[in-house]
Amino acid sequence: MRTREVADRAGVNTQTLRYYERRGLLAEPPRSPAGYREYPPTAVQVLRFVKRAQELGFTLTEVEELLELADGGPDSCDAARALAEGHIADLDRKIADLRQMRTSLASLVATCEQPRADRACPMLAAIDADAPLTEVSR
């Protein structure tokens, strides 16, 4: 298959396909006598694997590791699980950070309900201040 056909079947653009080649996520295909890249059918599977892993939040470096593990046996499954568990822990930290940010922002928004004469805008002051928002909202 040529570049455009592989890209279309995998749901990526040709620049993405070539970038993955340069990164080593996808093997560089042989060329036809006319100089066109000729990809094997497995290239579509690899590209779909990469995109699904990215949709789960894995970085391309992690995807590269997952691709290497995909060729292994039971030990690879344990390594893939460990990588996924690490990713879950990162997501949990990000979720906690987002919840704290939301709480801080909600607290600032609540101060906007005070009578106008009794307040300066604490939200704008907090954003402009040097103190972290978590200290301002307490």
**pLDDT category, 138, cuts 50, 70, 90?**
very low
Q: What is the pLDDT of residues 48-84, one digit of tens each?
A: 999 999 999 999 999 999 998 887 777 888 899 999 9
Domain boundaries, the chain: 1-58
Give pTM, 2 decimals.
Answer: 0.71
Q: Helical H runs in the chain?
A: 3-10, 14-23, 42-55, 60-70, 74-111, 122-128, 133-136
The torsion angle over the Cα atoms of residues 111, 114, 115 and 117, rounded to 10 degrees, is: -50
At residue 75, φ and ψ (nearest 5 deg) are -65, -35
CATH class of 1-58: mainly alpha
